[in-house]
Structures are given as C-alpha cells and as structure tokens.
C-alpha cells in the first residue's frame, strides 16, 4: 500500500480549492483505491505532495486534426499519420479527443467515421484515445458560418440528420448546431434520444431563443463568443442566457486571441463552474508556423493562430495544456484552469452524472498528472504523477 497526503483536486472555484486537501491510498500496482479528505494527523511515513494538484489528463472536445490531417478529409491511407498524432497528443498530456467534423459533404463525413472506427482498433496504452465524434455542423447559421464552407451548411431536419449519422449513432458524442433555425428543435430531441450532447454554436440565437434551446436539451455552447452574438448591455445573447444557469457548459478557446484574456477573466466571474477548455486545433497542429493547405484553402499560422486569406480566424494550433497554463495566470486561479481542461470536459461527456472524485478511483496514478505552481515565477507546470 502507498499513501499520499496533502493533494489538491482541481476545483472550479478558488474558495473550494484552498480549503480542501485529499489523501490517496494506492495498491501495490499504483491503482487508486480511495480518495478522501486529509486528516490533520497523518502518519510520518506518508508521502506529502504539499498542496500540488492531481488531475487526469486533458480531454479535448473540439479538435479538427493535426500533423497535416483533418478529420473531414480522412481516408484509410492516413491511419498511420493519425496514430502518430494520437501518440503526440498523449505526450502533450491529452488522454482523449472528440474528433471534430466541420461542415462537409455526406460522403466525407461517413468515410471519416469509417476511418475513425478502424483506427480505434489500434487503441493502446500511452496513446490518446478517439472518443465519440463532434459534429460541428452542418445545421448552422450561414451568417455566423465563420471558417465553415457555406456550401456544406444545410437546414436542420430529422431526415437530413438520419441520412448523415445512420450506422454511426453510437459513435457520436457531441453535435453543434444553430437552435434558432426551423427544424432544430426536432433534431435536438432526436439527438437527446440518442444520448448525444447538443451544443449551441455558429448561431444567431438571441437571449430568448437560447433559453428555449437550453430548456429543450441544449447543454453547451461551442467556442463561446466566437460565431455568435456577444454580450451587450441591452442584449446579453446566448452567453448571458447560459450564465443565468449552472447546467450549461461554455466551451472556450483559451489562446487569448479568439477571446481576449480580460474577457476570459470576466467569463470566469460570470460562470465559474461552467467553462470547458477546447483547443479547436486544426490540421496544422504540431507543424509550427507557416502556410498550409486546409480544407482546399490556404491557411496561414502565426504564433499558433490560424487565419484564412480573408483574415477569418480558423482555429488554433496551441496545445490544450499550454492554454491551460496561460489561463491560470489570466484568472489567477490555477486550480480552476486545470479543472477546465481535465475534469470539466468529463462532466460534459458524462452529462453531469459523475462527481470529480469518481474520475480518480480505479485509475493508475502513472496515467495521471501532477501540477505545481512555481513560487518564484508563478508559472503553472505539469509532469507525470508517478
């Protein structure tokens, strides 16, 4: 048996983080048997973490590709490169991704899903896992299409949904759509029957239509602030609607460009328990700066930010845990930043049916991360937990 004391578990609010310390009991193989509040009197032979945080690896709910491949442009010849990407993501601290399909043709989507299904046969230890796919489209508002191909966007309907996902109903975790469009409520109802999380995004929804969507099963916002109405003092829009409740998660690209760092700080004040970090990484992830072909278009990457020739922002290449470290400084709350990248996305996928502690029991500590805050430069860093 091994016992570790004075561990912090990431919390979405600083007040909770500061008052809670935990102890772990592990078996001889490093499997966590229990996680409980630390007692004031601990035996002298306990391992002391002095308030460092323990977390699972990150989960990325919105990743479009990397190392030169896009999930909307997959074929079976790209499986070796996809496996290389998954290996790289593991080294970057990511346990699983929801491979994201932006609006594309029916044939592209179904071929990509077949390739992902085949790739899952190569799941192994020390490799990032492919989770259920994230369909970002095609039921989007053209006015807020962003970098999506408007020719691939279509009106929502049950028939269009069934045609697209037939045979893959159990392989989809999340769908982004514009809930204000005619036909969307029927699609949302069908997605909820299939236990698929529904997220508002690329949408012209105002406050009232957002509230209606949330009441009918939408439980998340995709890349909050981007491709939607923003916060305005007379029209607070979908973000203000979400902040009124505590059951709507707010996906956030944390590079400081998609959303200004001060707005991220404000969002943390408005909705402290709802933010979920996503990378929105595209095919240029892992390739550095430069110009690349993306979705039959040229994209330029500079300092990790991706833009189309018309200057439209088209995703990022910033690793998710690098964004986590940036946000820790911006909001002055490292625990919350860790929570946003590691525990919050698990809450989304479990649809709030699991507690934070449940994500640790039964896990090998070797698969988890240990986080430290450097007291000299106040920089957050992570390493393998064991």
Tell whether residue 260 is among the known ligand binding residues: no
Q: What is the per-residue DSSP string for 348-362? A: HHTTT-S-GGGGTTT
Tell whether residue 232 is among the known ligand binding residues: no
Catalytic residue, candidates 60, 280, 295, 333: 280
Tell whether residue 226 is among the known ligand binding residues: yes
CA distances in angstroms from 299 to 96, 107, 257, 283, 291, listed in the order given? 26, 24, 17, 10, 6
Tell whether residue 244 is among the known ligand binding residues: no
Distance CA 153, CA 105 (A): 9
E-strand ranges in 81-194 read 94-102, 129-130, 133-136, 172-177
Smallest CA-to-CA distance from 385 within 1, 9, 13 is with 9
Distance CA 287, CA 293 (A): 12
Using DSSP, state whether 272 is helix, strand or coil: coil
Tell whether residue 50 is among the known ligand binding residues: no
Tell whether residue 223 is among the known ligand binding residues: yes
Q: Which two tokens stand for residue 222?
A: 């995709």
For the sheet containing 380-384, what is the strand order? 53-55, 369-373, 380-384
Tell whether residue 4 is among the known ligand binding residues: no
Q: Which two tokens stand for residue 302?
A: 């500079």
Residue pair 169/202 in contact (Cβ under 8 Å)? The answer is: no
Tell whether residue 314 is among the known ligand binding residues: yes
280 catalytic? Reply is yes
Distance CA 87, CA 242 (A): 36
Tell whether residue 356 is among the known ligand binding residues: no
Helix (H), strand (E) at residue 199: strand 197-200
Residue pair 167/192 in contact (Cβ under 8 Å)? The answer is: no
Tell whether residue 202 is among the known ligand binding residues: yes
Tell whether residue 2 is among the known ligand binding residues: no
Helix (H), strand (E) at residue 200: strand 197-200
Distance CA 268, CA 129 (A): 29
Enumerate the known binding-site residues for substrate.
147, 226-227, 234, 258, 313-315
Enumerate the known binding-site residues.
136, 147, 202, 223, 226-227, 234, 258, 313-315
Enumerate the known binding-site residues for Zn(2+).
136, 202, 223
Active site residues: 280
């Amino acid at each position: 048996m091994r016992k570790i004391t004075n561990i912090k578990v990431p919390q979405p609010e600083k007040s909770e983080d500061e008052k809670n310390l935990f102890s772990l009991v592990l078996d001889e193989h490093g499997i966590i048997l229990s996680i409980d509040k630390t007692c004031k009197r601990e035996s002298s032979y306990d391992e002391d973490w002095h308030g460092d945080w323990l977390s699972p690896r990150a989960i990325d709910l919105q990743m479009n590709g990397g190392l030169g491949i896009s999930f909307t442009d997959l074929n079976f010849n790209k499986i070796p490169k996809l496996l290389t990407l998954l290996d790289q993501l593991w080294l970057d601290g990511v346990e699983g991704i929801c491979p994201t399909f932006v609006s594309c043709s029916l044939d592209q989507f179904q071929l990509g899903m077949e390739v992902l299904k085949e790739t899952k046969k190569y799941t192994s230890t020390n490799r990032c896992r492919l989770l259920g796919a994230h369909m970002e489209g095609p039921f989007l508002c053209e006015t807020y299409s962003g970098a999506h191909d408007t020719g691939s966007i279509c009106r929502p309907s049950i028939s269009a949904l069934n045609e697209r996902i037939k045979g893959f109903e159990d392989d989809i975790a999340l769908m982004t759509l514009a809930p204000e469009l005619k036909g969307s409520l029927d699609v949302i109802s069908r997605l909820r029957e299939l236990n698929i999380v529904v997220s508002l995004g690329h949408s012209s929804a105002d406050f009232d239509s957002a509230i209606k969507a949330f009441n009918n099963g939408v439980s998340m916002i995709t890349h909050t602030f981007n491709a939607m109405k923003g916060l305005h003092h007379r029209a607070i829009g979908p973000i203000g609607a979400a902040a009124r409740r505590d059951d709507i998660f707010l996906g956030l690209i944390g590079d400081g460009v998609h959303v200004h760092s001060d707005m991220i700080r404000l969002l943390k004040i408005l909705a402290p328990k709802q933010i979920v970090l996503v990378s929105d990484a595209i095919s240029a992830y892992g390739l550095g700066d430069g110009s690349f072909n993306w979705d039959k278009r040229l994209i330029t990457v500079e300092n990790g930010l991706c833009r189309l020739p018309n200057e439209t922002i088209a995703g990022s290449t910033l690793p998710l845990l690098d964004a986590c470290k940036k946000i820790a400084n911006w909001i002055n709350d490292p625990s919350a930043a860790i929570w946003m990248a590691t525990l919050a996305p698990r809450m989304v996928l479990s649809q709030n049916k699991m507690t934070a502690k449940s994500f640790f029991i039964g896990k090998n500590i070797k698969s988890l991360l240990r986080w430290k805050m450097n007291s000299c430069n106040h920089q957050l860093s992570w390493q393998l937990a064991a």
